[in-house]
Structure 1
């Protein structure tokens, strides 16, 4: 009797494994592979002038970069000696916005 039980158990285990493999194969056969989409990275570049620099330190540089389509002139932060902040401009959806920090 125990021999028949062991054979029955082996057959049922084999049937279960085959059924599982078939169901898994059917499930994944209809699955479409995902497409790799190119991501559009926006990398802002921060320009901080050095000692005795001012608004003119980077204006011609940023204008030239903008003309060559290396990025777009975006935000300008004016920082006063008391720490107040005045922000002009905006960041567009274009690539590589330029952010200029001017301390007074």
Structure 2
């Protein structure tokens, strides 16, 4: 009897109702234990799903950030290449080719 009563006074079962009748003590202990176990399993399920959802959300944010950084890098490379092509002086062969085309037209 003292073992069962001391079990009821544990930290986990401190909110369980106490009964003065020995017949009801065992029944109320099992009811309380089942309720406590059910609450713990629901809490465990929530924690698991929140962990999975948080990890997935973090992965997606990181992936989108990586794609954005790669896009900005590609835009910068394209601008740099375009600027280098536009500022380069035409080579001698290009000027001669233009002159030949203009001479043939005449």
**TM-score, with structure 2 as normaliser:** 0.31
Higher relative contact order by CA 8 Å / sep ≥ 6: 1 or 2? Answer: 1
**TM-score, with structure 1 as normaliser:** 0.31
Higher strand share: 1
Higher helix share: 2
